[in-house]
Amino acid sequence: MRARTIVPALVLLLFAALPLLTQAFDQRYLLSVGTRIVIWSIAAVSLNMILGYGGLVSFGHAAFFGIGGYAVGILSAEGIESGWLQWPVALLAAIIWAAIVGALSLRTRGVYFIMITLAFAQLVYYLSSGLEAYGGDDGLNISRSRFGLIDLRDKASFYWLCFALLCASLWFCSRFAVSRFGNVIRGAKSNELRMTALGFPVFRYRLVAFIIAGALGGLAGILLANDGAYVSPAMMSWVKSGDLIVIVVLGGIGALYGPLWGAIAFFALEEFLQPILDLMHKGWGEYWQIVFGPMLVLVALHARGGIDSLLGRADD
């Protein structure tokens, strides 16, 4: 139990200090990796809410990335650069999309649900690649959102904003997990029929959870768009949705800090598999996914509680 409190605290502390550390050791590249880890963690937290806690295998979560990002991107391209205007609109777009997809998909079960969420994400993907005015397949370069208070072009400021939002997401998730609402969502994952028989209109609660998760995913998309000053349909390809699921499962389903562990592990693998393979044999590094793919198979077959379970048993 001790590890369970100490490790997250240390890691968060490390992340909080990252800009200072990378400055001190002149490792600016690490800061950009760190930023991406933080942003993806936020996305993973949002997916963890419905997938980890709720048991809803949504294979279209990257769509929220895209919607948040494109909303900001399109507004930016049209000359509306104020973040105060862009971000609420982007969040609203994500919420609306989540409401529509949720209303249609949550009535289906199991495999159908996976497929229909995937299909909806594909829909958005194709729509965005058809938007010639906004870059189509090639994507769109945009300028970052403007807020009077901070300059998002400053890497450290932007990082700290993302980190603050990650902390807020984690805080919300921790409250959600033990709240009345969270109980319903978790109960429905455990035994949906029972929850209905207890008197809970499960569909309604799941829809609300789906919308919240979608909004948070949209926020991650907004941050992603600002990170690279770029949006493209690739943001919401089904591969990205798959990557998100990998991150959540790797980190630990339904564990509070699971998304953080998963994102760190995922990016670490990407960064390190290549040089390791190159060390073994020159030129092999390029094909690191030949190793990564089977690794995922092994994780699926053997990693019951994800990285989080390495920290010892969770205490209720």
Partner 1 sequence: MEVLIQILNGVQLGLLMFLLAAGLTLTFGIMDLVNLAHGSLYMMGAYIAWTFIGWTGSFVLGALLALPATFVLGMLVEIVVMRRLYARDHLDQVLATFGLILFFNELVRAVWGPDGKSIAVPGFLSHTIQILPGVPYPAYRFALIAAGAIVAILLAWLVARTRMGMLIRAGASNRRMIAALGVNIELLFTLVFGLGAAFAGLAGLMAAPIASVRIGMGDDILIVAFVVIVIGGIGSIKGAFVAAMLVGQIDIAGRAFLPDLLKTFLSPASASAAAPAISQVLVYVLMAGVLVWRPTGLFGQRP
Partner 2 sequence: MTEPLLSTSSLVKRFGGLVATDDVSIDVEAGEIHALIGPNGAGKTTLVGQLTGNVRPDSGTIHFDGRDITRLPTHARVRLGLARSFQITSVLRDFRAIDNVALAVQAHLGHSFRFLRDARNERALRERAWAGLKAVGLDERAGVLAAALSHGEQRQLEIAMALAGDPKLLLLDEPMAGMGAEESRDMVHFLRGLKGKRAMLLIEHDMDAVFALADRVTVLVYGRAIATGTPAEIRANAEVRQAYLGEAVA
Q: Is 52 in the site for partner 2 (CB under 8 A)?
A: no
Q: Which two tokens stand for residue 202?
A: 């499960």
Touching partner 2, residues 142-201 (CB under 8 A) = 172, 175-176, 178-184, 186-187, 190-191, 193-201
Q: Is 115 in the site for partner 1 (CB under 8 A)?
A: yes
Q: Is 295 in the site for partner 1 (CB under 8 A)?
A: yes
Q: Which does 193 bind (CB under 5 to 8 A by kind): partner 2, partner 1, none?
A: partner 2
Q: Is 49 helix (H, G, I), strand (E, B) or coil?
A: helix
Amino acid at 87: W
CA angle 22, 23, 27 (to 5 degrees): 45
Distance of CA 88 to the CA centre of its chain: 19
Query: Site for partner 1 (CB under 8 A): how many residues?
Result: 46
Nearer residue to partner 2 within complex by CB, 200 or 230: 200
Q: Is 73 in the site for partner 2 (CB under 8 A)?
A: no
Touching partner 1, residues 3-32 (CB under 8 A) = none
Q: Is 119 in the site for partner 1 (CB under 8 A)?
A: yes
Q: Is 213 in the site for partner 1 (CB under 8 A)?
A: no
Nearer residue to partner 2 within complex by CB, 190 or 297: 190
Q: Is 161 in the site for partner 1 (CB under 8 A)?
A: no
Q: Which does 120 bind (CB under 5 to 8 A by kind): partner 1, partner 2, none?
A: partner 1
Nearer residue to partner 2 within complex by CB, 55 or 136: 55
Query: Which residues, in sequence order, are CB contacts of 27 under 8 Å at separation 6+?
Result: 21
Q: How many CB atoms lie within 10 A of CB 14?
A: 11
Report the C-alpha gap between 63 and 126 in whole angstroms.
11
Q: Is 282 in the site for partner 1 (CB under 8 A)?
A: no
Q: Which does 285 bind (CB under 5 to 8 A by kind): partner 1, partner 2, none?
A: none
Report the C-alpha gap between 22 and 87 in whole angstroms.
29
How far CA 169 is from CA of 45, 56, 175, 213, in Å, comes to 7, 19, 10, 10
Stretch that binds partner 1, among 139-147, 175-183, 215-223, 281-289 (CB under 8 A): 281-289
Q: Is 235 in the site for partner 1 (CB under 8 A)?
A: no
**Beta bridge pairs of residue 230:** 141
Nearer residue to partner 2 within complex by CB, 120 or 205: 205
Distance of CA 179 to the CA centre of its chain: 22
Q: Is 130 in the site for partner 1 (CB under 8 A)?
A: yes
| Least distance from partner 1 to the Cβ atom of residue 65, Å | 17
* Helices 258-280 + 289-302 axis angle, to 10: 140
Contact between residue 89 and residue 78 where contact means Cβ atoms under 8 Å apart: no
- Alpha helix (H) ranges present in 106-237? 110-129, 155-178, 180-198, 202-228
Among residues 81, 94, 100, 113, the alpha carbon closest in space to that of 42 is found at 94
Q: Is 71 in the site for partner 2 (CB under 8 A)?
A: no
Q: Which two tokens stand for residue 310?
A: 């390495």
Report the C-alpha gap between 179 and 158 in whole angstroms.
31
Chain positions contacting partner 1, by CB under 8 A: 51, 57, 59, 104, 107-112, 114-116, 118-120, 122-123, 126-127, 129-133, 136, 238-239, 242, 245-246, 249, 253, 287-290, 292-297, 299-301
Positions that interact with partner 2 (CB under 8 A): 172, 175-176, 178-184, 186-187, 190-191, 193-202, 205, 208, 316
